[in-house]
Amino acid sequence: FEFGTLAPKVFILEIYLLFIPILGRVIATFLCSGEKEVDLAVQSAKAAFKIWRKKSGMERSRILLEAARIIRERKDEIATVETINNGKSVFEARLDIDTSWQCLEYYAGLAASMGGEHVQLPGGSFGYTRREPLGVCVGIGAWNYPFQIASWKSAPALACGNAMVFKPSPFTPVSTLLLAEIYTEAGVPPGLFNVVQGGAATGQFLCQHRDVAKVSFTGSVPTGKKIMELASKGVKPVTLELGGKSPLIIFSDCDIENAVRGAMMANFLTQGEVCCNGTRVFVQREILDKFTEEVVKQTKKIKIGDPLEEDTRMGPLINRSHLQHVLGFIEQAKNEGAKVLCGGDLCVPEDPKLKDGYYMTPCVLGNCKDGMTCVKEEIFGPVMSILSFDTEAEVLERANDTNFGLAAGVFTRDIQRAHRVVAELQAGVCYINNYNVSPVELPFGGYKMSGFGRENGRVTIEYYSQLKTICVEMGDVESVF
Ligand SMILES: NC(=O)c1ccc[n+]([C@@H]2O[C@H](COP(=O)([O-])OP(=O)(O)OC[C@H]3O[C@@H](n4cnc5c(N)ncnc54)[C@H](O)[C@@H]3O)[C@@H](O)[C@H]2O)c1
Ligand SMILES: O=CCc1c[nH]cn1
């Protein structure tokens, strides 16, 4: 099948080949949106915005709830599409779809209660504020959670009365189209949630467009910087959800079985291609050997293969060049003195149809030191680096010694230590005795170079709306002139 935005007579930048990671084969081609198509998408979103912004919160809420219901009803189908496109196990993809409809439900619940405040002023005068939408917002997504990222951006945007033009990653262009279809079926005005396809050039057209009021971006730090620069030219607010190299601190008094499960969750979901992964696993020296042995044992048990099979827990990486990039980090780690305790190799599953897919075995690296490349840089693959530590003060210093600040985790039975440590961690999301759970009621976002702004939670309303102040005079004007 072919994805084309408009007839080929309009200016087309590029044609993308859509590879599926499971088989390493092209299954589709699609045309990228050029400047003209981006403008058409923005103009149709603008027209839809005029209708949508006039609806009451309750009316918007009902439509979002209906969209959430349809997502739930079509969960298996959407998860299958996500798996075919991204490579993550269908088991996990279903969890992503759950946090997608939950996000729509959450903001549907908030839509009706959004409002301003009334303030009494002297002499019977008063003021009030209106919480108003921004207009046409742009969402630009990464390839690791395509449907979920589009849902996490569009749900609060639409709940606040905005329209959205969304550009998925060119590696995962498909599932967002299902979201657009679902919003339409649920009753949003045509054009309110538009999808354009393409890579960097299409993204740039979106960020520069004069009728775009805000850009919400999920992706790497280098691209985030470019987006911020582009948006600054139009003084557009941006939300940046960027990469990370998060620490996970395991104290010797922890429940070790839970800590091992937590470390697995922190490193191997979606083939390790997760922004908030706790890839720097600091283990207190007393339990280093026991913890390492158990983590290696569990990692070796992960079933790799066709992600559409129910019991598979790790599928292929997103594409061949990313696979080579991740394997390159492991090679470099070895050269720098790390020890491969398991995995880190190309993997050819037994099923002959999978022979060209982008599979590798999940890797645990021991003997890691703070200065090593595998410990400093985001690998974005199934590679856990284990480091040892002795004291709380030492581990805090080392955990914070990074330009990233997306997430962090701590495992301990000492409740006071747990809260003392998270208070010192320089990260936007901290987990105590768990890792990589994503309740949509809680804000998600980074400190330092991992970005700013938040997704999910009540606070995100602030990032998709603006306050208008109205000052009402009930007496005569007292002029100074
Ligand atoms: N913090 C989060 O919530 C979060 C979530 C998922 C992924 N990520 C991060 O995303 C990265 C992996 O994703 P990726 O490889 O797709 O990132 P990327 O930065 O290469 O691309 C992200 C998106 O930006 C677009 N893009 C690229 N150049 C652009 C430009 N100059 N102008 C406008 N748009 C442009 C891409 O087409 C894609 O849609 C990792 O660093 C990961 O940590 C962060
Ligand atoms: O990849 C990072 C975590 C996440 C999941 N959905 C949006 N962000």
The confidence score (pLDDT) of residue 13 equals: 57
The number of the ligand 2 atom at minimal distance from the alpha carbon of 273 is 1
Task: Check if 144 has its Cβ closer than 6 Å to any atom of ligand 2.
Answer: yes
The finding on whether 21 has its CB within 6 A of some atom of ligand 1 is no
| Residue at a domain's end among 242, 267, 293 | 242
Q: Which domain holds residue 221?
A: 14-242
418 in a domain, yes or no? yes
CA 415 to ligand 1 centroid distance, Å: 37
Decide if pLDDT at 371 tops 80: yes
**What is the band of 262 on the pLDDT scale with cuts at 50, 70, 90?**
very high
- Decide which of 324 and 3 is more confident: 324
Return the residue whose CA atom lies nearest to atom 7 of ligand 2: 149
pLDDT reading at 45 higher than 80: yes
pLDDT tens digits, residue range 326-367?
A: 999 999 999 999 999 999 999 999 999 999 999 999 999 999
Q: Are residues 281 and 422 in the same domain?
A: yes
CA of 200 to the centre of ligand 1 (A): 10
Q: Are residues 57 and 174 in the same domain?
A: yes
Question: To test ligand 1's pocket by mutation, which of 13, 165, 169, 176 has the most ligand atoms within 8 angstroms of CB?
Answer: 169
State the pLDDT at residue 477: 97
- The answer to the question of residue 6 being in a domain is no
Percentage, residues of the chain above pLDDT 70: 97
Of 15-24, 181-190, 236-245, 402-411, the poorest mean pLDDT is in 15-24
C-alpha 88 to ligand 1 mean position (Å) = 18
At residue 439, the pLDDT reads 98
Give the confidence band of 27 by pLDDT, cuts at 50, 70, 90: confident
Cβ atoms within 10 Å of 181's Cβ, excluding its own: 14
pLDDT of res. 9: 36
Mark whether 225 and 251 lie in a shared domain. Answer: no
Residue 455 has pLDDT above 80, yes or no: yes
Residues 213 and 327 in one domain: no
Same domain, 108 and 210: yes
Examine the domain organization and report whether 219 and 259 are in the same domain: no
Q: What is the arithmetic mean of pLDDT over 139-162?
A: 98
CA angle 255, 256, 261 (to 5 degrees): 105
Q: Does 12 score more than 60 pLDDT?
A: no
If you average pLDDT over residues 268-275, what whole number do you get? Answer: 98
C-alpha 117 to ligand 2 mean position (Å): 34
Our answer on whether the CB atom of 436 is closer than 6 Å to any ligand 2 atom is: no
Q: How far is the CA of 122 from the centre of ligand 1 (A)?
A: 51
Q: Which residue has its alpha carbon closest to ligand 2 atom 2?
A: 275
pLDDT surpassing 80 at residue 132: yes
Of the listed ligands, the closest to the CA of 16 is 1
Does 211 fall in a domain?
Answer: yes
Is it the case that residue 322 has pLDDT exceeding 80? yes
146 and 273 part of one domain:
no
Residue 6: predicted pLDDT: 38
Q: With a 6 A CB cut-off, is 275 part of the ligand 1 pocket? A: yes
Task: Say yes or no: CB of residue 155 within 6 Å of ligand 2.
Answer: no
Judge if the beta carbon of residue 429 lies within 6 A of ligand 2. no
279 & 230 share domain? no
Catalytically active residues are 241
Q: Which of 208, 242, 276 is the last residue of a domain?
A: 242
Q: Is the CB of 274 under 6 A from ligand 2?
A: yes
Whether 176 has a pLDDT exceeding 80, the answer reads yes
Ligand 1 atom nearest 241 alpha carbon? 1
Condensed to tens digits (0 to 9), the pLDDT of residues 430-450 reads 999 999 999 999 999 999 999
**Residue 379: inside a domain:** yes
Q: Which of 346, 399, 350, 408 is nearest to 370 (CA)?
A: 399
**Per-residue pLDDT band at 2 (split at 50, 70, 90):** very low
Tell me: ipTM over 0.90. yes
If one residue of 151, 153, 274 were mutated to test the ligand 2 pocket, choosing by the most ligand atoms within 8 A of its CB, it would be: 274
- Is the pLDDT at 224 greater than 90, yes or no? yes
Give the integer Cα–Cα distance in Å for 361 and 370: 24
User: How far apart are the CA of 240 and the centre of ligand 1, in A?
Assistant: 10
Count of structural domains within the chain: 2
- Note whether 234 and 256 are same-domain residues: no
Q: Looking at ligand 1, which residue's alpha carbon is closest to its atom 29?
A: 200
Q: How much is the average pLDDT of 397-416?
A: 98
Query: Are 272 and 229 part of one and the same domain?
Result: no
Residue 253 and residue 305 in one domain:
yes
Q: Which of 227, 242, 257 lies at the terminal end of a domain, its last residue?
A: 242
Residue 282, pLDDT above cutoff 90: yes
Residue 474 lies in a domain: no
Q: Answer whether residue 452 is part of any domain.
A: no
Measured in Å, residue 274 CA sits from the centre of ligand 2 at 6
Q: By percentage, how much of the chain surpasses pLDDT 90?
A: 95
* 296 and 237 fall within a common domain: no
Residue 469 falls inside a structural domain: no
Residue range 391-407: average pLDDT?
98
Task: Judge whether 219 lies within some domain.
Answer: yes
